[in-house]
């Protein structure tokens, strides 16, 4: 129960839930009889609710198909819903004295620092290396204590930030400490997360002139662009654009609209261009000077063709 609750969850956050669950369901058969609504109600606020559903499903499976007896080995535990490489090893080493390493986030951090391992722990393939390394380190008859000791060290002293090497019992043997690169371990290549943005540019035409504005922030700061309305989703209808904008677009007659996605390394742009006639906005740029301005590339690609269409 505790190993399931403590997946990706701190002890102080999960402790009360653990107490509730063992009080409500002292035996696996008690849990197996509970309804899913009941279990999820108890789980409420803890997050990762599939854990609660898998917990119940596994309790029922153990009662219905395993005669109420838990598997002993990590290999067999691994087959149960909600129990993966870490949890199976943790349970088996603690409850069954199986000499197998429970590699969690703490183990990655502690071992990568102690042995100065440069492997990227964000890669799934790295797990195997750490599992084999740490399993070799298990000696004696208390593999569960060894695993928990590594986790405790990582949770209390060898923490991600503000680690306290001077308090660490392993300081003298720690390669990262000797090299003064503790802050660089573990190596975790963070994948750039790509943001979606929805940009609606207004091409406002009035008396052979076109409205532009200058960006004052962001990656295009200082460059010129068409008046922009950014939305949190893709706008496909002009009426919707008028609704979400504070601008007085009602006086503008829609001539054409055009959409083109544009991929940057760090964001996907969904760009729509809306060409309006007789718009009631400040017009400050001669149409024939438009190419002399520094527009963002996604705009540049489009401007020439659009202007041609306007002139036609």
Partner DNA sequence: GATCCGTGGTA
Partner DNA sequence: TTACCAAGGAT
Q: Of 84-92, 174-182, 210-218, 237-245, which segment contacts DNA by CB under 7 A?
A: 84-92
Of 17, 21, 25, 86, the one binding DNA by CB under 7 A: 86
Beta strands in the chain (DSSP E): 195-206, 209-210, 213-214, 224-225, 228-231, 253-263, 267-277, 285-286
Tell whether residue 9 is a contact of DNA (CB under 7 A).
yes
* Tokens coding 75: 């290999």
Any residues with CB less than 8 A from the CB of 254 and at least 6 apart, and which?
Answer: 238, 274, 275, 276
Tell whether residue 152 is a contact of DNA (CB under 7 A).
yes
**Residue nearer to DNA on the CB measure, 57 or 254:** 57
Compose the 105-144 pattern: x for residues touching DNA by CB under 7 A, - for all others. xx--x-------------xxx-------------------
Q: Which stretch binds DNA (CB under 7 A): 4-12, 168-176, 257-265, 300-308?
A: 4-12
Helix (H) or strand (E) holding 54: helix 50-65
Binding of residue 151 to DNA (CB under 7 A)? yes
Regarding 48 and contact with DNA (CB under 7 A), the answer is: yes
CA–CA gap between residue 51 and residue 82 (Å, rounded): 6
124 three-class SS: coil
List for the chain the helix, strand, coil content (%; round to 5). Answer: 45, 15, 40
d(CA 220, CA 214): 9
Residue 246 found at the interface with DNA (CB under 7 A): no
Nearer to DNA, 2 or 96 (CB): 2
Quick note: the x/- pattern for DNA over 159-198, rule CB under 7 A, is xxxx-------------------------x-xx-x-----
Report the C-alpha gap between 306 and 272 in whole angstroms: 12
Contact 110, 148 (CB under 8 A): no
Q: Which sequence positions are flagged as catalytic?
A: 3
Binding residues vs DNA (CB under 7 A): 2-3, 6-11, 13, 45-50, 54, 80-88, 90, 104-106, 109, 123-125, 148, 151-152, 154-155, 159-162, 188, 190-191, 193
């Amino acid at each position: 129960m505790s190993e399931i609750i403590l997946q990706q969850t701190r002890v102080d956050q999960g402790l009360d839930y653990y107490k509730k669950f063992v009080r409500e369901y002292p035996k696996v058969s008690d849990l197996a009889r509970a309804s899913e609504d009941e279990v999820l109600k108890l789980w409420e606020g803890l997050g990762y609710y599939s854990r609660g559903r898998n917990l119940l499903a596994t309790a029922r499976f153990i009662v219905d198909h395993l005669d109420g007896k838990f598997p002993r080995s990590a290999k067999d535990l691994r087959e149960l819903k909600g129990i993966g490489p870490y949890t199976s090893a943790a349970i088996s080493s603690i409850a069954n004295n199986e000499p197998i390493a429970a590699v969690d986030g703490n183990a990655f951090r502690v071992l990568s620092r102690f042995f100065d391992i440069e492997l990227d722990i964000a890669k799934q393939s790295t797990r195997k290396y750490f599992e084999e390394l740490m399993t070799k380190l298990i000696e004696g008859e208390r593999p569960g204590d060894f695993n928990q000791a590594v986790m405790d060290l990582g949770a209390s002293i060898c923490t991600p930030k503000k680690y306290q090497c001077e308090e660490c019992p392993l300081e003298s043997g720690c390669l990262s400490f000797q090299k003064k690169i503790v802050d660089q371990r573990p190596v975790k290549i963070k994948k750039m997360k790509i943001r979606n943005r929805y940009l609606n540019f207004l091409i406002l035409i009035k008396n052979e002139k076109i409205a532009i504005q200058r960006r004052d922030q962001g990656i295009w700061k200082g460059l010129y662009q068409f008046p922009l309305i950014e939305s949190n989703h893709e706008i496909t209808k002009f009426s919707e654009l008028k609704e979400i904008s504070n601008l007085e677009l009602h006086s503008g007659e829609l001539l054409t609209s055009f959409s083109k996605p544009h991929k940057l390394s760090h964001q996907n742009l969904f760009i729509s261009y809306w060409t309006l006639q007789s718009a009631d906005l400040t017009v400050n740029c001669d149409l024939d000077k438009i190419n002399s301005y520094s527009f963002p590339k996604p705009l540049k690609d489009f401007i020439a063709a659009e202007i041609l269409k306007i002139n036609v």
